[in-house]
Amino acid sequence: MRKFSIVLIALCILMILISCATSPEKGAKNTEEQERDIPEKEYAQAKLLREKIEKYGLSEYAADEYNLGEEMFKKGEENYNKNNKNSKKAFKEAITHYNAVIEKGNPVYSEHLQKETETVKKDAENIKANVAMKDEYEKALALYERAVNERNAGNFEKAVEHFEEAKRLFAEVYTQTEVKMARAEKSIEESKGELQLVEQKIKDAGL
């Protein structure tokens, strides 16, 4: 009886060890699942939104949401490829907060950007860039008008993109017009100098 009990206990211990042991196949399966669950898509999306906020300085328009987003983004990075379930959850929360920042910030920023663009546009018109660089000016103007339409329609993100590009083009038109004006003035001064020289030669010749 005692011998039977010992054998029974040994069998129980052996079964426990077998059930607890992880086979190489099961271990490989767990590794594959872990790799498959890496939140690459969520990480990439969170980074893209974060970069957009930083590019346009939108964090100042929704500081609380931005700080929460940063906290979750950091948590997502800390758990990335270590605890992917928590990492994915954190990145999703970061995305929610970042989108809230963009949603609150874009209307205010687009209004600010529209005023800046209009200032550069007016500067260009004051030096007749719309005449000197007609085609380039009209290209900038078309983008500006598209941006205004997008903003009026509530498409603030598109409006910001178009205002940024229009502002850049108006600035280029302004600079290129200044260069043209400087060349023209130089040419006029040179022509005046040549004319004065001819007049002096005529005078010296007693004609």
Within 127-155, residue ranges assigned H as helices are 129-132, 134-152
In this prediction, residue 2 has a pLDDT band, given cuts at 50, 70 and 90, of low
Which H helix or E strand runs over 162? helix 156-204
Whole-prediction pTM value? 0.65
Q: pLDDT tens digit string along 141-150?
A: 999 999 999 9
- What is the per-residue pLDDT for 195? 57
* Domain ranges, ordered by start, for the chain: 36-204
- What is the per-residue pLDDT for 16? 56
Sort residue 154 into left (φ over 0), alpha (ψ -120 to 50) or beta: left
| Average pLDDT, integer, range 115-131 | 96
Q: What is the mean pLDDT of the chain?
A: 84
Q: pLDDT tens digit string along 32-49?
A: 455 568 999 999 999 999
In this prediction, residue 120 has a pLDDT band, given cuts at 50, 70 and 90, of very high
Q: For residues 132, 135, 141 and 146, what is the CA-based torsion angle, rounded to 10 degrees?
A: 180
| Average pLDDT, integer, range 116-140 | 95
| Both tokens assigned to 13 | 């211990």
Q: pLDDT tens digit string along 40-93?
A: 999 999 999 999 999 999 999 999 999 999 999 999 999 999 999 999 999 999
CB 86, CB 79: distance < 8 Å: yes
